[in-house]
């Protein structure tokens, strides 16, 4: 009897515990009525997704060097040397690059020489004592932010962490009293900034306020860039004001692509382990990387330097188009430098070539370009094709229609544990096609790692396209010139009755948010 009572008591205890455990389970594992796929980590921060969507934007190197002819000012230049010959016109910069299909820009407002293009409270080495009235009046970050907002363009600033003018450089006071405060001043020029740009900046030879300076030779001040700039606090402080501002380079939220010539690896993962010194990792990312660290390619649109120099010329629109294919088309972003001249404007030949680039992007890849309408826009043949997929994820939300609905938040996908899939596009009559564009919904991580493209002219015989290219990663965006060449990419195209994309391997079930064929 006693035994029975004990058993009854234990049973009574177990029931509520059992019920509790079940309740707990229910709250811990949220219902997944939509059968949404799990993210494949690492995944981007929301601000990195917004940044990636900017895709193609300008770099404007302008400042003291524009007037000395140098690329790296020493820091000993008198403020009066900065003497624009006309009123600097950032609105002209912004509208010119908008006509090239760009979605924003970054203005250099302090280069390594330390001269600030705004009336900063942190140093007297700024425009207040510039050598012309235009120079004293034009607050570049203010005008640039205003112009960008007016023309619906994204904007941000380049501020060199290395400062060859500041006597504080190399000491703690530089970081706390100069650099962080300058970044905060700049953040205050617009809470909607999309990127702040910091180069490698390890220090070196410089004027440093005249300490140890004799006969034009200064001191060497080197720092450990990985700890000196107090990046964790810098990031936090800038994000208080500008929450969507990605901190590039030493800021750790986007990585250098490893060259300044305008190309990324054909294989390009948006992940790395950390900021690496290895250029092949910079160019291709790392499939096993555990930090979301997407690539940005900084390239010069002109021959020669980053700053304006007499006689340097912008490359042809075709060459710039190639850079676009090799960066934006390979899961990186492209920040293309066009330097304003001593009048504070982009030279006319640059403006003309940028407009020609805009026309190429619009007519070949349907890039939206201000001022150009659908009459000159490339036709997206994915929209007129009958699309067949061999698999569709259960749940009713991952249908093939999401591939062509123009909405990047919807996607097609396959079931968990499936790593392959085939998408076939068929046209009533053959179409002349040249480019394939694919996008993954990166908020769920970068997944696809191998694919193959084939076409058929008669609908039954298949030929593989661009077998010479690494058809590996997709990521935020992949643009494949179907003839396998980025340099002579337009060509005659392929007369296709069918186009077949076979995803051959993926880190997790493959998903695609967008598909275009031009």
Footprint of ligand FUL (CB under 6 A): 71-72, 199-200, 298, 306
Instruction: Please say which residue, 77 or 199, places its beta carbon nearer to ligand FUL.
Output: 199
Torsion, Cα 109 111 113 117, to 10 degrees, reads 0
Q: How far is the CB of 205 from ligand FUL (least distance, A)?
A: 13
Q: At what angle do helices 140-150 and 90-98 cross, to 10 degrees?
A: 40
* Beta carbons of 329 and 489 less than 8 angstroms apart: no
Torsion angle (degrees, nearest 10) of CA 374, 375, 378, 382? 60
Look at residue 140 and give its three-state secondary structure. helix
Q: Kindly state the tokens that stand for 176.
A: 């706390």
Q: Which CB, 189 or 306, lies closer to ligand FUL?
A: 306
Cβ distance to ligand FUL smaller for residue 92 or 259: 259
Least distance in angstroms from the C-beta of 228 to ligand FUL:
16
> Smallest distance from the beta carbon of 91 to ligand FUL, in angstroms?
23
Shortest distance (Å) from residue 140 CB to ligand FUL: 15
Q: How far is the CB of 82 from ligand FUL (least distance, A)?
A: 17
Rg (CA), the chain: 27
Closer residue to ligand FUL in complex, CB, 208/307: 307
Closer residue to ligand FUL, CB minimum distance, 174 or 518: 174
Nearest residue (CB) to ligand FUL, 197 versus 324: 197
Which lies closer to ligand FUL via its Cβ, residue 71 or residue 377? 71
End-to-end Cα spacing for the chain: 84
CB of 318 vs ligand FUL, minimal distance in Å: 24
User: Tokens 């006597």 belong to which residue?
Assistant: 167
CB of 249 to ligand FUL, least distance (A): 8
Alpha helices in 198-307 (DSSP H): 231-241, 279-284
Which residue lies nearer to ligand FUL by CB, 72 or 155? Answer: 72
> How far apart are CB 56 and ligand FUL at their closest, in Å?
16
Q: At 511, list the tokens.
A: 């998903």
Least distance between ligand FUL and beta carbon 417 (Å): 44
Task: State how far the Cα of 197 lies from the Cα of 378, in Å rounded to an integer.
Answer: 33
Question: Whose Cβ is closer to ligand FUL: residue 160's or residue 408's?
Answer: 160
Nearer to ligand FUL, 253 or 298 (CB): 298
Task: Look at residues 216, 62, 217, 231 and name the one whose alpha carbon lies nearest to residue 161.
Answer: 231
The string over 402-418, giving b where at least 16 C-beta atoms fall within 10 Å of a residue's C-beta and e elsewhere, is: bbbeeebebbbbbeeeb
Give the closest residue to 47 by CA, choosing from 255, 222, 194.
194
| Three-class HEC string of 317-334 | HHHHHHHHHHHCCECCEE
For residue 401, count CB atoms less than 10 angstroms from its CB and return exposed for 0-12, middle for 13-18, buried for 19 or more: exposed
Q: Which residue is nearest to ligand FUL (CB)?
A: 199
Separation CA 70–CA 83 (nearest Å): 15
Q: In the complex with ligand FUL, which residue's Cβ is closer, 306 or 518?
A: 306
CB 126 within 8 A of CB 117: yes
Q: How far is the CB of 204 from ligand FUL (least distance, A)?
A: 10
244/261 Cα distance (integer angstroms): 28
Tokens 């059992």 locate to 18
> Based on CB atoms, which residue is closest to ligand FUL, 44 or 340?
340
Q: Are strands 195-197 and 246-247 parallel, antiparallel or unpaired?
A: parallel
With beta carbons less than 8 A apart as the criterion, state whether 333 and 442 touch.
no
Report which DSSP code applies to 403.
G
Residue 354 · residue 370 · CB < 8 Å: no
Q: Which is nearer to ligand FUL, 71 or 91 (CB)?
A: 71
CB of 160 to ligand FUL, least distance (A): 7
Report in angstroms how near the CB of residue 257 gets to ligand FUL at its nearest.
12
CA–CA gap between residue 332 and residue 321 (Å, rounded): 15
From residue 223, how far is each of 200, 274, 452 by CA, in Å? Answer: 11, 19, 47
- Smallest gap from Cβ 312 to ligand FUL, in A, equals 14
């Amino acid at each position: 009897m006693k035994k029975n009572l004990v058993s009854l008591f234990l049973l009574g205890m177990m029931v509520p515990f059992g019920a509790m455990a079940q309740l707990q389970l229910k709250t811990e594992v949220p219902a997944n009525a939509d059968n949404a796929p799990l993210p494949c980590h690492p995944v981007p921060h929301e601000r990195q997704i917004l940044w990636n969507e900017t895709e193609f934007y300008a770099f404007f190197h302008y400042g003291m060097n524009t007037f000395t002819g140098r690329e790296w000012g020493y820091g000993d230049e008198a403020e009066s040397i900065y003497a624009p010959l006309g009123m600097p016109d950032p609105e002209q910069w912004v509208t010119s690059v908008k006509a090239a299909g760009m979605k924003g820009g970054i203005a250099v407002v302090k280069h390594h020489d330390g001269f600030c293009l705004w009336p900063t409270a942190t140093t007297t080495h700024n425009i207040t004592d510039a050598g012309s009235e235009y120079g004293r009046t034009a607050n570049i970050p203010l005008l640039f932010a205003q112009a960008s907002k007016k023309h619906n363009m994204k904007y941000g600033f380049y501020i060199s962490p290395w400062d060859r003018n500041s006597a504080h450089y190399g000491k703690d006071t530089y970081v706390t009293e100069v650099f962080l405060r300058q970044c905060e001043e700049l953040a205050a020029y617009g809470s909607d900034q999309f990127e702040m740009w910091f180069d490698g900046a390890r220090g070196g030879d410089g004027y440093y306020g005249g300490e140890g300076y004799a006969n034009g030779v200064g001191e060497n001040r080197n720092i450990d860039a990985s700890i000196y700039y107090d990046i964790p606090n810098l990031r936090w402080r800038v994000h208080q004001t500008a929450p969507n501002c990605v901190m590039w380079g030493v800021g750790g939220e986007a990585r250098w692509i490893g060259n300044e010539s305008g190309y990324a690896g054909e294989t390009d993962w948006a992940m790395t382990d950390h900021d690496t010194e290895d250029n092949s990792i910079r160019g291709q990312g790392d499939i096993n990387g555990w930090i979301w660290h997407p690539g940005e390619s900084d390239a010069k649109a002109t021959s020669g330097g980053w700053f304006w120099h007499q006689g340097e010329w912008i490359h042809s629109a075709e060459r710039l188009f190639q850079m676009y294919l090799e960066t934006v088309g390979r899961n990186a972003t492209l920040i293309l430098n066009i330097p304003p001249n001593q009048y504070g404007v982009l030279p006319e030949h640059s403006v003309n070539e940028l407009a020609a680039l805009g026309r190429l992007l619009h007519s070949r890849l349907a890039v939206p370009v201000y001022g150009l309408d659908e009459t000159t826009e490339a036709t997206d043949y994915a929209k007129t094709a009958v699309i067949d997929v061999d698999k569709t994820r259960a749940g009713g939300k991952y249908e093939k229609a999401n591939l062509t609905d123009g909405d990047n938040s919807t996607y097609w996908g396959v079931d968990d544990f499936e790593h392959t899939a085939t998408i076939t596009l068929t046209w009533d009559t053959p179409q002349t096609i040249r480019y394939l564009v694919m996008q993954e919904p990166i908020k769920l991580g970068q997944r696809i790692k191998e694919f193959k493209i084939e076409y058929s002219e008669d609908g039954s015989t298949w030929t593989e396209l661009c077998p010479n290219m690494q058809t590996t990663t997709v990521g935020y965006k992949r643009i494949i010139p179907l003839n396998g060449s980025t340099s002579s990419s337009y060509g005659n195209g392929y007369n296709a009755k069918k186009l077949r994309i076979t995803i051959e391997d993926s880190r997790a079930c493959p998903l695609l948010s967008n598909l275009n064929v031009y």
